[in-house]
């Protein structure tokens, strides 16, 4: 059993993708019918690119892996290219060669949202839990769509997006008003139940959120700080995202001296 929060600082986004992909690849190789927790957003794209390359080269087989996305907008048609159903299909399911039948995304169109959220939690449990959860981080410290002040014990539920998150995501829509106001997201308590967490971030815009998540107090004010409660979380970031960390030199030293016996 691992017991660590590991901070890995790398020169650029491609390296972030390569190292984070190695963590995922390790799980897929050991458990080819396991379950991946999938994140949307631009941050994990470098991971998916690297995993798709390894799948195309025949090094990895995702055909029996299950996938569970973190979140979805409420009320956005799944045919909309920015619905997370469409994004996961385009950036993960197809490029990695996953079976669409085995990939689930929370139901943002359900008539009975609480029932759909409970069903999503039950589906994760029925799959035996998530083996490794991929995470990005919002500039305000959100993971999934767990905005600041989300309960640290929360499960999959409906949330109201903050104006900041709607503004950040407006670039994907025709106008800022077109960004949905609500979402369904796995809770922080759901995320904590995954056996492994891998959070990636690139660029200075994420530096403050990363510093709060890694070195700040565990607090619902920075939802990503909940990673400090997990027994095996890995934070893989570039120099820009690392630029506000006080102990960056120690993390670099730890990584440079990582013992052979310690897996990714």
Catalogue the E-assigned strands of the chain.
4-10, 35-38, 66-69, 71-73, 103-104, 132-135, 157-160, 182-185, 197-201, 232-238
Considering the complex, state which of residue 42 and residue 63 has its C-beta at the smaller distance from ligand GLP: 42
Active site residue 147: yes
What whole-number distance in Å separates Cα of residue 134 and Cα of residue 37?
A: 6
What whole-number distance in Å separates Cα of residue 66 and Cα of residue 88?
A: 13
Active site residue 204: no
Considering the complex, state which of residue 165 and residue 234 has its C-beta at the smaller distance from ligand GLP: 165
Active site residue 146: no
Minimal distance, residue 193 CB to ligand GLP, in Å: 17
Q: How far is CA 42 from the centre of its chain?
A: 11
Q: Compute how many residues bind ligand GLP; rule: CB under 6 A.
A: 14
Active site residue 257: no
Sites for ligand GLP among residues 124-143 (CB under 6 A):
136-138
Catalytic residue, chosen from 72, 147, 168, 238, is 147
What whole-number distance in Å separates Cα of residue 90 and Cα of residue 110?
A: 22
**Residue 17 found at the interface with ligand GLP (CB under 6 A):** no
Residue 94 is inside which H or E element, if any?
Answer: helix 94-96
Considering the complex, state which of residue 70 and residue 88 has its C-beta at the smaller distance from ligand GLP: 70
Considering the complex, state which of residue 55 and residue 202 has its C-beta at the smaller distance from ligand GLP: 202
Residue 170: partners with Cβ closer than 8 Å, 6 or more residues away: 176, 178, 179
What's the token pair of residue 148?
A: 């600041």
Backbone angles phi, psi at 35, to 5 degrees: -125, 130
Considering the complex, state which of residue 156 and residue 169 has its C-beta at the smaller distance from ligand GLP: 169
Q: Give the position of tokens 């941050």.
A: 43
Give, in degrees to the nearest 5, the angle at Cα 264 between 129 and 252.
130
Exactly one of 156, 169, 186, 225 binds ligand GLP (CB under 6 A); which one?
Answer: 169
- The contact mask relative to ligand GLP for 140-159 (x = CB under 6 A, - = no) is ----xx--------------
Sites for ligand GLP among residues 28-87 (CB under 6 A):
39-43, 70-71
Residues assigned a catalytic role: 71, 140, 142, 147
Binding site for ligand GLP (CB under 6 A): 39-43, 70-71, 136-138, 144-145, 165, 169
């Amino acid at each position: 059993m691992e017991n660590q929060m590991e901070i890995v600082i790398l020169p650029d986004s491609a390296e972030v993708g390569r190292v984070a992909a190695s963590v995922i690849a390790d799980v897929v190789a050991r458990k080819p019918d396991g379950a991946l927790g999938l994140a949307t957003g631009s941050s994990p794209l470098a991971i998916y690119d690297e995993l798709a390359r390894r799948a195309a080269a025949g090094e990895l087989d995702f055909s029996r892996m299950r996938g569970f996305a973190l979140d979805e907008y409420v009320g956005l048609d799944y045919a909309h290219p920015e619905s997370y159903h469409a994004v996961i299909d385009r950036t993960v399911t197809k490029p990695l060669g996953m079976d669409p039948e085995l990939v689930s995304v929370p139901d943002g169109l359900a008539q009975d949202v609480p029932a759909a959220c409970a069903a999503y939690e039950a589906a994760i449990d029925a799959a035996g839990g998530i083996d490794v959860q991929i995470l990005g981080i919002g500039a305000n410290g959100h993971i999934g769509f767990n905005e600041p002040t989300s309960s640290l014990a929360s499960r999959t539920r409906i949330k109201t997006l903050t104006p900041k998150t709607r503004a950040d995501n407006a670039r994907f829509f025709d106008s800022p008003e077109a960004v949905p106001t609500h979402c369904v997201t796995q809770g922080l308590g759901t995320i904590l139940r995954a056996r492994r967490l891998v959070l990636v971030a690139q660029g200075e815009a994420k530096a403050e959120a990363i510093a709060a998540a890694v070195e700040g107090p565990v607090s619902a004010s920075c939802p990503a700080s909940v990673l400090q409660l997990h027994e095996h979380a890995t934070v893989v970031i570039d120099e820009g995202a690392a630029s506000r960390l006080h102990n960056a030199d120690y993390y670099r030293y730890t990584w440079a001296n990582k013992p052979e016996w310690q897996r990714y």
